[in-house]
Amino acid sequence: MWSQNLKLPKQTTKVKFMEIIPYSTQLIDEQDIAAVAQALRSALLTQGELVERFEQELADFLGVRYVVCFNSATSALYAAYRACFSQGALVITTPISFVATANMLLACDCEPVFADIGFDGNISPESIARAIEKVDSKQRLQGIVSVDFAGKSADTESIRAIAKEHNLRFIADSSHAFGGSVDGRKIGTLADVSVFSFHAIKPITTAEGGAISTNDKTIYEQAKLVRSHGLVKKRLWDTQVAQMGFNFRLNELQAALGLSQLRKIQAFLERREEIARIYDQAFAGNPYFTPTHPAIPANHTSTNHLYPILLHKELYCAKEEIFAMLWEKGLGVQVHYKPIFLYELYANAIGLHKDSSGRDSRTNALDWYQAELSLPCHQVMSDEQVQYCIKQILEICAKSANSLKSSPRIHCV
């Protein structure tokens, strides 16, 4: 009888949302749906063979020895940090990331030291060197965490050299960058451990999900323990627990979706690159902003998870207006990211970066926050939508620039 209560209303009231073109989104096709349906009919919905197969195929794709899947990149970051850092460690990282990169350091009782970024949005080796110089306790310093911003690899060669010189672990948060590469070497092979996200809007998706990739067996085994309660199977029913862990597992439905998505990664990346190049051409020489994509060196393959543009200084104070007007026209632009050290939780993060007058010297990160907007760029966009976005962004920037000319705002540089 209770099933009566579950009846859905006969007529669902349709709410009409304005169609927004998001900055990134998933592409799910009938193959993906069939793969998940098949997994639903199998005997094991979790801890079956699909997760293992997904891990193996990811490892083959990346050209790495070990991959461990997780229920999110956040869990994967936690596992990577736990495997690499001890309590109380200082870890140098980038302020321009999703907050999980730093939050998981706190979760592992580590202390983030925020460096600065370069024009590509990635942590700059120079600012890492400056941070190392200023750290009081070199013993506590244990690692560097980079982010491959927008899907373009950080300068891993320089970071590896710094890490080697100072005996530091190097972890790459490659949540934006699955499928990217440098000199033909896949992102995922360029740090001690790399972390990927399979969140819906990342390059491939399992709805929620993540993974680590590494060639280090100790890290691999540690990560597996953290993923599943610290449990080690002994004999028959007997198990052993030497350390605590969580349930951070990916399930079989997610793995089925991941395996199906992995088949399409090349097509997704090609379409994103195609759109990025159309944008590059349309925006070349415009007086309002500079896109970061045209400056990506030829030996890098970016996933173009984001297509960032940097507003010119004169338009910083019009950014709110531009953002709001773009949304009004259906462009789901976003800002990536507010520097993490500006969050309340991080207000007391080590103040290595104040100059003698008390000003923050991470000027690039602060500038970036005023300048950056991420435009829609993904595999679901039609050519018409791409042209529509170009037209809207140029028109709206022109409008803002003109209204600034007629009523200049003092606080605008």
Ligand X SMILES: *Cc1c(COP(=O)(O)O)cnc(C)c1O
* Segment 150 to 189, residues that bind ligand X, using CB under 6 A: 173, 175-176
276-297 burial code (b ≥16 CB/10 A, e <16): bebbeebbeebebbbbbbeebe
Handedness of CA 89, 145, 204, 53 (dihedral sign): negative
Smallest distance from the beta carbon of 349 to ligand X, in angstroms?
17
User: 186 or 288: whose CB is closer to ligand X?
Assistant: 186
Task: Output the smallest distance, CB 336 to ligand X, in A.
Answer: 8
Among 21, 100, 317, 352, binds ligand X (CB under 6 A): 100
Place of tokens 């560097």: 144
Residue from 147, 154, 250, 371 binding ligand X (CB under 6 A): 147
Judged by beta carbon, residue 90 or residue 195, the one nearer ligand X is 195
Which residue among 199, 224, 249, 378 contacts ligand X (CB under 6 A)?
199
Q: How far is the CB of 254 from ligand X (least distance, A)?
A: 11
> Does residue 73 bind ligand X (CB under 6 A)?
yes
To 10 degrees, what angle do helices 252-262 and 49-62 make?
30
Task: Specify the residue, 207 or 278, whose C-beta has the smaller distance to ligand X.
Answer: 207
Radius of gyration of the chain (CA): 23
Q: 112 near 82, Cβ under 8 Å?
A: no
Q: How far is the CB of 107 from ligand X (least distance, A)?
A: 12
Q: Is 112 one of the binding residues for ligand X (CB under 6 A)?
A: no
Residue 199: what are its φ and ψ, rounded to 5°? -55, 155
For ligand X, the binding residue among 24, 26, 39, 72 (CB under 6 A) is 72
**101 scored as a contact of ligand X (CB under 6 A):** yes
Smaller CB separation from ligand X, 197 or 302: 197
Number of residues interacting with ligand X: please give it, by CB under 6 A.
Answer: 14
Output 288 or 337, the one with its CB closest to ligand X. Answer: 337
74 binds ligand X (CB under 6 A): yes
- Smallest distance, ligand X to C-beta of residue 180, A: 13
Site for ligand X in 324-343 (CB under 6 A): none
**Candidate residues 121, 125, 210, 308; the one interacting with ligand X per rule CB under 6 A:** 210
| Residue 22 φ then ψ, to 5° | -70, 160
Burial call 4-40: b when 16+ CB within 10 Å, e when fewer: eeeeeeeeeeeeeeeeebebbbbebeeebeebbeebe
CB of 55 or CB of 173, closer to ligand X? 173
Positions in the binding site for ligand X (CB under 6 A): 72-74, 97-98, 100-101, 147, 173, 175-176, 197, 199, 210
